[in-house]
Amino acid sequence: MNSLEIRKLNKSFGALHVSRDVSVSIPEGECHALIGPNGAGKSTLIHQISGVLRSDSGQILLDGQDISNLSVSARVQAGLGRTFQITSVLPSFTVLENLAIAAQAKSGSSMRFFGDASRETALNELAQSTLERVGLAKRAHIRAGDMSHGELRLLELGLALVAKPKFLLLDEPMAGLGRAEGMVLVELLAELRASIPMLLVEHDMDAIFQLAQTVSVLVEGGIVAQGTPDEVRASPAARAAYLGGDAE
């Protein structure tokens, strides 16, 4: 079963206790949004989950496997996918080439396998099907550097999907997108969440309330409210700390 469970994660920077006993459980089929004011500790938590930062204590379980002590790349190998705020797209390669390169990298390809036709076919098929999955089939042969910002976001998601993740970490996927581009991405993520559960850090409340079945509100590193969007909207702690007038 695809799921992510984090149990009592803590992280301090010197005297600053940022993540405080954070626990979240995200089962199969679910998009969980993490929201909170600037400086609440959202990025820190994402970095702890992805492995960029080691937690001081707590556990991270992916499909029941404890990945708390794995490196970033070992977590990716274990099935933890993520989109990066710093793009991993190669701008002078086409969209399809970017996906094919990612597919090859994921497959652990090396020169000694070069020329294995069936293997190349499989990688090309994976690149092509991912291209279609993220709605970029018509843009296959465009240089990635010539794409719009919204298309780049779709390609970044495609690069994560090539690795066939069991779970996706999405760090502000809507950032910088216009309304139309944002809607395309929301629709795509809504389709994907049925097969790949996801944790979404996002400031765009419309996107959150369209996508997330459950929400955690993080304030000063601790979760002050957790539940469905409606429960969180109704939570006095969340309203006081974060949602304010938007919750009305």
Q: Given the rule CB under 6 A, which residues bind ligand ATP?
A: 13, 16, 18, 36, 38-44
Q: 118: burial class by Cβ within 10 Å (0-12, 13-18, 19+)?
A: exposed
User: Which residue, 16 or 194, has its beta carbon nearer to ligand ATP?
Assistant: 16
| CA–CA dist 42, 65 (Å, integer) | 23
Q: Phi and psi dihedrals of 187, rounded to 5?
A: -60, -45
Q: How far is the CB of 247 from ligand ATP (least distance, A)?
A: 18
User: Which residue, 43 or 59, has its beta carbon nearer to ligand ATP?
Assistant: 43
What amino acid is encoded at 110 in this protein? S
User: Which residue, 103 or 224, has its beta carbon nearer to ligand ATP?
Assistant: 224
Q: How far is the CB of 17 from ligand ATP (least distance, A)?
A: 9
User: Which residue, 18 or 154, has its beta carbon nearer to ligand ATP?
Assistant: 18
In contact, 214 and 28? CB cutoff 8 Å:
no
Q: How far is the CB of 22 from ligand ATP (least distance, A)?
A: 11
222-227: strand order across its sheet:
80-83, 167-171, 198-201, 31-35, 214-219, 222-227
Q: How far is the CB of 202 from ligand ATP (least distance, A)?
A: 10
User: Which residue, 137 or 240, has its beta carbon nearer to ligand ATP?
Assistant: 240
In contact, 181 and 150? CB cutoff 8 Å:
yes
Q: How far is the CB of 16 from ligand ATP (least distance, A)?
A: 6
Please state at what angle helix 95-106 crosses helix 117-133, rounded to 10 degrees: 120
CA 74 to chain centre: 16
User: Which residue, 27 or 222, has its beta carbon nearer to ligand ATP?
Assistant: 222
In contact, 35 and 202? CB cutoff 8 Å:
yes
Beta strands, E only, the chain = 4-13, 16-26, 31-35, 57-62, 65-66, 80-83, 167-171, 198-201, 214-219, 222-227
Q: How far is the CB of 225 from ligand ATP (least distance, A)?
A: 15
